[in-house]
Amino acid sequence: MPKSPRFTGAPRDFSNVETWVFDLDNTLYPHHLNLWRQVDEKIRDYVARFLDISHEEAFRLQKDYYRRYGTTMRGMMTEHGMQPDDYLDVVHQIDHSPLTPNPELGSAIEQLPGRKLILTNGTRKHAEAVMRRLDIDRHFEDVFDIAAANLDPKPLPQVYDRFLARHGVDAAKAAMFEDLSRNLEVPHTLGMTTVLVVPQGTREVFREDWELAGRDAPHVDHVTDDLAGFLKIVAAPRR
């Protein structure tokens, strides 16, 4: 049985939120499905082929670039002059079948008053495939993907600036949901209410130590391990 949503000492609430912004991977679907693991492996394989190196060395570079540049792609572009189009197409050719409709999440998102948007470092095509499998696509107004961000990844500040400008979002009246604490720092600085979505049994999921850090950071207003349950609680006083 899922644990109850967990709120942590938050200086900001949701009383004035008009726009609800969601990361995609490992936020809108459970970490334990390990869907991103498929992408992770395709990235490793691509780096190995592109640089003609072993899978072990490719994996090391992949994680180093991800940590330092926000995405492996940005690291490969910066360090090796890689062109992104083929890379993006290849690494997102994955099996989405582990995802199944999530009516509880769909209902919770529908109950939120205002606009709902996706902000992802992935591609629009991947985001739309994920949302269709979860049967939540009809609840979202649009997807702001890595192409819309001019190939700059979160957590770079300009990504959020472009997103806010593109969609006319008032940061002070918006909430951001993410599975990585570092991607919430800029939104919080801009005035957004921030929510860190963490998995049950986190240590059983293949993730780096730095990815798991930051739950108690001052830029994290709320933490939950049950997104649907959390959203229902948030929406209840507003109805």
Q: Are both 149 and 181 inside the same structural domain? A: yes
Q: Are both 75 and 109 inside the same structural domain? A: no
pLDDT, tens only, 47-87:
999 999 999 999 999 999 988 998 999 999 999 999 999 99
Residue 154 maps to a domain:
yes
CATH code for the domain of 44:
1.10.150.450
pLDDT, tens only, 27-41:
999 877 778 789 889
Tokens representing 227? 């997104």
Q: Are both 113 and 209 inside the same structural domain? A: yes
For the chain, the domain total comes to: 2
User: By mean pLDDT, which of 74-78, 193-197, 198-202, 229-233 is the weakest?
Assistant: 198-202
Q: Which residue segment(s) compose the domain that 81 sits in?
A: 35-91
Q: Are both 40 and 24 inside the same structural domain? A: no
Q: What whole-number percentage of the chain has pLDDT above 90?
A: 72
Q: Are both 26 and 45 inside the same structural domain? A: no
Distance CA 136, CA 126 (A): 14
User: By mean pLDDT, which of 2-6, 109-113, 148-152, 216-220 is the weakest?
Assistant: 2-6
Residue 214: the pLDDT is: 60
Q: Are both 142 and 207 inside the same structural domain? A: yes
Helix 227-235 / helix 103-111 crossing angle, nearest 10 deg: 30
Q: Are both 113 and 215 inside the same structural domain? A: yes
Q: Are both 196 and 233 inside the same structural domain? A: yes
Residue 17: the pLDDT is: 97
Residue 9 maps to a domain:
no
> In this model, does residue 200 exceed pLDDT 80?
no
DSSP letter (8 states) at residue 70: S
> In this model, does residue 106 exceed pLDDT 80?
yes
Distance of CA 19 to the CA centre of its chain: 16
pLDDT, tens only, 121-146:
999 999 999 999 999 999 999 999 99
Q: Are both 216 and 172 inside the same structural domain? A: yes
Q: Are both 148 and 183 inside the same structural domain? A: yes
Going across the sheet that includes 193-197, the strands are 142-144, 115-119, 19-22, 174-178, 193-197, 222-224
Q: Are both 75 and 118 inside the same structural domain? A: no
Mean pLDDT score, 182-193: 96
